[in-house]
Chain A
Amino acid sequence: DAGVIQSPRHEVTEMGQEVTLRCKPISGHNSLFWYRQTMMRGLELLIYFNNNVPIDDSGMPEDRFSAKMPNASFSTLKIQPSEPRDSAVYFCASSPGPPSYEQYFGPGTRLTVT
């Protein structure tokens, strides 16, 4: 069975440009999470969805960030406009939900904003 799929794996863009990150969760999982990881701040939860509905977006840094989950097999994280401080690795994870709350991560998207 395929794991969580993310694209692109690497993204280099200039400040001010729009960036869209994509995620396909594991089939049958009903929760999806977006994380950001940097050396300074570690792994931070940005937002998570349950049954395609955003449940907690308190980790989204500011209005430049938005996330959608139009169906059970696809989610996007968009940054517009991007800034150099957005440079990080962005992970998507999915979970089957209760009773198991285990999360399975995708390979991540390494974003560099110059």
Chain B
Amino acid sequence: TQLLEQSPQFLSIQEGENLTVYCNSSSVFSSLQWYRQEPGEGPVLLVTVVTGGEVKKLKRLTFQFGDARKDSSLHITAAQPGDTGLYLCAGRLTNAGGTSYGKLTFGQGTILTVHP
């Protein structure tokens, strides 16, 4: 059972198109992070969201944290070939007492390919 369901798993689009990647869970997260990973490299942190309903923008990337802090989305506007890569969402769980665990729980990842 995957705690964080990320979809779609694969996405192949043309340059200039828009896309959205989803990250869903039945669990509450104290924070959620989005990473991008290139082949042969480690994940690079793009953004952290911590407040329910929070929206953050990073150039053409828009990140949203669900009101209940159980889901998140990444939207890319006018995708470019340079956006090609593996996108990962990762969250820190919160237990019933409200304490955050240190470890990150990752989704399976979305492999994005943007064709020129």
Q: Do A and B bind each other?
A: no
